[in-house]
Chains A and B, each alone.
Chain A
Amino acid sequence: MELSGKVALVTGASRGIGKEIALLLARNGADVAINFRSREREAEEVKEAAIKSGRRAIAVKASVSDVHEVESMVKTVNEELGKIDILVNNAGIVHDKLLVNMSDSDLLEVIQTNLIGAINCARSVIFSMMRRKSGRIVNIASLSGITGFAGQTNYSAAKGGLIAFTKSLAKEVALLGIRVNAVAPGFIETDMLENLQKKDEIMKYIPLGRFGKPEEVAEVVLFLVSDRSDYLTGQVIKIDGGLVM
């Protein structure tokens, strides 16, 4: 299989897009570490499902915003599954508010998790990838980081930063055989969309006429971590039903 013998770490993989990514990578041969922050039961279920597809899998608790927890998570994965070949920075949160109403914690938590968290994880695995001259990193950004959305100044700043980070890191490590790309999902049917207002109105602007599924994001991530995308690095692929062209 395409990813046989590879070890993948997917952050925020207890549900939503991260869960589907972890399961799809496992179905394609990767051993997977399922990171979670608080949803242990769900993460264990994802782990069991990955094991059912014949791969090794572990669930590993860490808040990506905490550099020490990230270091210890990476150590655990190295010990239990082996060195990390594939990192998918998926963990993300939203605290949607208008800027005028935004608290310090609304701002800082979103930046800490969505942006600094991804950088923490990349920094923890990059040296090992550099030494092995091989590695794949995919950052789950958002359409919000490209076009901006009212009510998401914190989130779009973090995701826009993540896109810029993707490009800089891609340039830094390209010659060492490490590829770094991002995907920018639009409206995907996950818990994050639960509180979304005016769904019908948004739908009118999506050429494909529906919201996306987490599995559809996972398929693009699989492509980006496989050898089939070997000439792609530093790219941001929008998965949004054509919403932004």
Chain B
Amino acid sequence: MSSNLEQTEQRIKKVIADTLKVDESLVTKESTIADLGGDSLAALRILSALEQEFDISLSDEDARKIDSVPIAVEVIQSILVTQK
């Protein structure tokens, strides 16, 4: 895993932990939002928080996919790479 990817994952995990108010150690690289006790409203808050954190705008299509850490990493990393 490149350091960039690792960094992205760390930031995503922190955003999710902060938004759901759970300890960061509970958020693993495999966690789903549902596993962490988040409902669809929490998922919407996570999306806004991620957009803010990475200064990106997620399309509805991308946003709809994001229900876990790995998918968030995949979607956001690909946006960041395209932006470069």
Contact = CB atoms under 8 A, between A and B. Distances in A.
Interface residues of A, number: 8
Interface residues of B, number: 7
A51 to B, nearest CB: 27
Interface in B33-81: 40-41, 44, 47, 60, 63-64
Contacts of B44: 130-131, 176
- Which interface residue of A78, A128, A131, A175 has the most chain B CB atoms within 10 A? A131
A231 interface: no
A83 B40 CA distance: 20
Contacts of A131: 44, 47, 60, 63
Nearest to B60: A128
B10 to A, nearest CB: 25
Q: Is the interface of B mostly helix, strand, loop or mixed?
A: helix
A176 B41 CA distance: 9
Interface string A9-34: 00000000000000000000000000
Interface string A101-144: 00000000000000000000000000110110000000000000
Interface in A127-175: 127-128, 130-131, 175
Contacts of B40: 130
B9 to A, nearest CB: 23
A203 to B, nearest CB: 48
Contact of B64 (A83, A127, A175): A127
A80 to B, nearest CB: 16
A130 B44 CA distance: 8
- Which interface residue of B44, B47, B60, B64 has the most chain A CB atoms within 10 A? B60
A7 to B, nearest CB: 14
Nearest to B51: A131
Interface string B4-46: 0000000000000000000000000000000000001100100
7 contacts: A78-B60, A127-B63, A127-B64, A130-B40, A131-B44, A131-B47, A175-B41
The 6 closest A-B pairs by CB, nearest first: A128-B60, A127-B64, A130-B44, A127-B60, A131-B44, A131-B63
Interface of A: 78, 83, 127-128, 130-131, 175-176
Given A127-B64, A130-B44, A175-B41, 12 more contacts: A78-B60, A83-B60, A127-B60, A127-B63, A128-B60, A130-B40, A131-B44, A131-B47, A131-B60, A131-B63, A176-B41, A176-B44
